[in-house]
A = this chain, B = another copy of it.
Amino acid sequence: MDLIESLAVKSEQKILLVVIDGLGGLPNKKDKTELEAAWNPNLNKLATRSALGLITPIDIGVTPGSGPAHLALFGYDPLAHQVGRGVLEALGVGLAIKPEDLCGRANFATTGSDGTLTDRRAGRIATELCEELCARLQKEIPRLEDIEVIVRPGIGHRFVVVFRGPGLGDGLTDSDPQHDGLRPAPVELASPAAAKSARVANAFIARCAELLRERAAANCVLLRGLALPPVLPSLRERFKLTPACIATYPMYRGLARLVGMDVLEAGSTWHSELAALRLHLPEYDFFFLHFKETDKAGEDGRFDTKQEFIETFDEEILPQLLALKLDVLCITGDHSTPAVMAGHSWHSVPVLLNSAYVRPQLVVEEFGERACVHGSLGHMPSVKLMQLLLANALKLKKFGA
C-alpha cells in the first residue's frame, strides 16, 4: 500500500462510501437474491451510468467478520491489521477505547463445588441481571494495582472489561476453556510483554469470583480475546483525506475511529444519518455512511425484511444522496449476509461506482449480484476499492514518467 500512499494528494473532490451492511445475498426459491428481488428503480437507473463490479472482502471462500470486512473497505489489509475480539466487543458497547487499553470479552459462568464449569453461559441470564452484576463489579473493582477497570454490560451473560493504565502488553491466552466440565484456566502469557496484563486479568477474575461466590448461576467470570487495539496509521496520514463516519451502531463508529475518522453525531435512524451528512458536507472530503439493518435481517434469515430495507434505501435514501451531487459515490457492502444462510458468508459483494470518469457497462440494466458479474470493474479485492475511489476523486498522482 506504500505505492498508493506515495501517490495520494489533496483534492477538492468529495467521496461518499455507502456501506449497506451484509448487502450481498444468495437466490431464494424464486431464484432472486434480496438485492435482485427488490424493486429498485433508482439504483437500477444509476447502475446504467455507473461502473459495476464485485469485491471479495478477505480472500476467495473466506467469510469475514465485521472488523476485517470494514478495514478492507477502508483500504487496510485485513490480514496485516487484525482487530482483537475484545477490542471489537468494547467498540460494540460504545466504549471510546484508547491505544493502551487492554480489552476483553467476558462471560458470566457457573462453576460447581469442585471448581469445574457447569455452565459457561451462567444459564443465559437476563440482560437486566447482567447489567446489575456489572454495576456491582464496577463499583467493587474500580482499580487493580495502578490500572483503571472499566466494566460494561452486553447482552445476556456477555460483558466487556477494559483495563486502562501503564504497562499492559498484548499477548494473553483465554481463561475460557471452551467446554463445560473443565476448570477455568488462568490467563497466561503468550508474550513476555504481557506479564502485568496477565497479573491484572487474573486478579480481576479472582476478585469477581469472591464477589459472586454466593450466587447460584453467575458465580464466576470467563475472559477471552484480551487484546490491545491495533495501531493503524490514519486515513489522513495515508491518503491525505479528511474523513468522517456516519453510523448508528457503536462498533462501526469505533472501527472508523481506529482509522482516524471523525465520528459524527448521527442519531439512530437512516434519516438522522442523512441529516448528519447534509450538515457536515462542507467539512470533509470522505464520508463513510453505514446502514446496519440489512445485515441484521440477513442474520435473522428474514429475506423479505432484508429486501424491504434495500427498497427503503432505494426509495427514501438514494434520491437524497444523489441530490447532494458528490463527486464520487460508491454503494456496496462490507460482506454478504444471505438470508438463506442466516449469517455472514464468503460470497463477493456487489459494488456500484459513480463518478465523471467511469465506463458504464454495455448491456447491464440493474444493480444485482449477477448483473455485477458483467460489470466493467470486474472482480477485485475489497482492499483495492479505496484506491479506486481516490483515483476517481483525482486524489492520486501519476506513477512514474
A residues with a Cβ closer than 8 A to B are 3-4, 7, 26-27, 31, 33, 54, 58-69, 78-79, 82-83, 85, 88-89, 225, 338, 341, 344-348, 357-362, 369-371, 373-376, 378-380, 384, 387-392, 396-401
Chain B nearest Cβ from A224, distance in angstroms: 11
How far does the alpha carbon of A66 sit from the alpha carbon of B401 in the complex, in Å?
Answer: 6
Known interface pairs A65-B400, A79-B3, A362-B370. Does A60 touch B357 (Cβ–Cβ under 8 Å)?
no
Q: Which residue of B lies closest to A36 (CB)?
A: B362
How far does the alpha carbon of A401 sit from the alpha carbon of B379 in the complex, in Å?
Answer: 24
Known interface pairs A357-B341, A370-B359, A373-B361. Does A61 touch B387 (Cβ–Cβ under 8 Å)?
yes
How far does the alpha carbon of A9 sit from the alpha carbon of B346 in the complex, in Å?
Answer: 15
Structural contact, B401 and A359, CB atoms closer than 8 A:
no
- For A391, list chain B residues within 8 Å (CB): 60-63, 346
Structural contact, B4 and A62, CB atoms closer than 8 A:
yes
Contact of A390 among B61, B67, B88 (CB under 8 A): B61
- For A60, list chain B residues within 8 Å (CB): 380, 384, 387-388, 391
Q: Which residue of B lies closest to A379 (CB)?
A: B378
Given contacts A60-B380, A345-B357, 20 further A-B pairs with CB under 8 A are: A4-B61, A27-B359, A27-B360, A59-B384, A62-B396, A62-B399, A64-B400, A65-B398, A65-B399, A67-B400, A69-B400, A88-B401, A338-B357, A344-B398, A360-B370, A362-B373, A373-B374, A374-B374, A378-B378, A379-B379
The contact sample of 13 A-B pairs, CB cut-off 8 A, is: A3-B59, A4-B61, A7-B62, A26-B358, A31-B360, A33-B359, A62-B391, A65-B399, A68-B399, A359-B370, A360-B370, A362-B370, A378-B379
Most central of A27, A66, A78 by chain B CB within 10 Å: A27
Structural contact, B370 and A347, CB atoms closer than 8 A:
no
Structural contact, A347 and B373, CB atoms closer than 8 A:
no
- For A345, list chain B residues within 8 Å (CB): 357
How far does the alpha carbon of A279 sit from the alpha carbon of B188 in the complex, in Å?
Answer: 49
How far does the alpha carbon of A348 sit from the alpha carbon of B4 in the complex, in Å?
Answer: 17
